[in-house]
Amino acid sequence: MTDRSCLTIVLAAGEGTRMRSSLPKVLHQVAGQTLLAHVLSAAPRGAGTSLAVVVGPGHETVAEEARRVRPDVMTFVQPARLGTAHAVLAAREAIARGADDVVIAFGDTPLISADTLARMREPLQAGASLAVLGFRAADPAGYGRLIVDNGRLTAIREQAEASASERRITLCNAGVMAFDGKTALRIIEKIGNANSKGEYYLTDAVGIVRESGLTAAVIETGEDEVRGINTKAQLAEAEQVMQTRLRKAALDAGVTMVAPETVFLAGDTSFGKDVTIEPYVVIGPGVAIADGAVVHSFSHLVQASIGRNASVGPYARLRPGTSLGEGAKVGNFVEAKAAVLEAGVKVNHLTYVGDAHIGANANIGAGTITCNYDGFNKYRTEIGAGAFVGSNSSLVAPLKIGNGAYVGSGSVVTKNVPDDALVVGRGRQTVREDWARRFREMKALAKKPKTG
C-beta of 174 vs 366, nearer to ligand UD1: 174
Least separation in angstroms between CB 129 and ligand UD1: 18
Q: Pick the closer one to Mg ion by CB: 98 or 142.
A: 142
Residue 144 interacting partner from Mg ion, ligand UD1, none (CB closer than 5 to 8 Å by kind): ligand UD1
Q: Does 18 participate in binding Mg ion (rule CB under 5 A)? A: no
Residue type, 158: E
Residue 349 annotated as catalytic? yes
- In 3D space, the residue among 291, 250, 289 whose CA is nearest the CA of residue 267 turns out to be 250
Contact flag: residue 202 with ligand UD1 (CB under 6 A): yes
Is residue 201 a contact residue for ligand UD1 (CB under 6 A)? yes
Give residues 208-247 in contact with ligand UD1 (rule: CB under 6 A): 228
Instruction: Evaluate whether 325 touches 345 at the Cβ level (below 8 Å).
Output: yes
Q: Is 213 helix (H, G, I), strand (E, B) or coil?
A: coil
Please state the length of the chain: 452
Beta-carbon count within 10 A of 270 CB: 14
Concatenated DSSP letters for 235-289?
HHHHHHHHHHHHHHHHHHTT-B-SSGGG-B--TT-EE-TT-EE-SS-EE-SS-EE
DSSP string, 366-414: TT-EEE-B-SS-B--EEE-TT-EE-TT-EEESSEEE-TT-EE-TT-EE-
* Residue 199: CB minimum distance to Mg ion, A: 12
Residue nearest to ligand UD1 (CB): 144
- Minimum CB–partner distance for residue 177 and ligand UD1 (Å): 9
Asked if residue 280 lies in contact with residue 262, where contact means CB atoms within 8 angstroms, the answer is yes
Closest CB to ligand UD1 among residues 217, 287: 217
Closer residue to ligand UD1 in complex, CB, 107/354? 107
Residue placing its CB nearer to ligand UD1 in the complex, 76 or 439: 76
Name the segment binding Mg ion (CB under 5 A); options: 154-162, 189-197, 228-236, 371-379. Answer: 228-236
Residue 216 pairs with which residues in a beta bridge? 130
201 makes contact, choosing from Mg ion, ligand UD1, none, with CB < 5 to 8 Å by partner type, with ligand UD1
- Burial call 311-337: b when 16+ CB within 10 Å, e when fewer: bbbbbbbbbebbbbbbbbbbbbbbbbb
| Residue 286 binds to Mg ion (criterion: CB under 5 A) | no
The single residue among 45, 67, 81, 380 that binds ligand UD1, judged by CB under 6 A, is 81
> Which of 5, 41, 48, 82 contacts ligand UD1 by CB under 6 A?
82
Which part of the chain contacts ligand UD1 (CB under 6 A), choosing from 7-15, 34-42, 304-312, 440-448? 7-15
For residue 120, give the 3-state DSSP assignment. helix
Nearer to ligand UD1, 202 or 263 (CB): 202
* 127-186 residues near ligand UD1, rule: CB under 6 A: 143-144, 156, 158, 172-175
Could you write out the DSSP letters of every residue in 14-28?
Answer: ---GGG-SSS-GGGS
For ligand UD1, which residue of 19, 51, 54, 306 counts as binding (CB under 6 A)? Answer: 54
Question: Of these residues, 38, 296, 300, 349, which one is catalytic?
Answer: 349
The 86-125 contact track toward ligand UD1, x by CB under 6 A, reads xx------------------xxx-----------------
Q: Which is nearer to ligand UD1, 39 or 295 (CB)?
A: 39
DSSP at 155:
E
Q: Using CB under 5 A, which of 48, 228, 267, 286 touches Mg ion? A: 228
Burial (CB < 10 A; 0-12, 13-18, 19+), residue 248, is exposed
Radius of gyration of the chain (CA): 29
Alpha carbons 143 and 152: distance in angstroms, whole number: 19
Q: Which residues face 283 on adjacent strands?
A: 301
Residues that bind Mg ion (CB under 5 A): 228
Q: Annotated catalytic sites, by residue?
A: 349
Residues that bind ligand UD1 (CB under 6 A): 11-14, 54, 78, 81-84, 86-87, 106-108, 143-144, 156, 158, 172-175, 201-203, 228
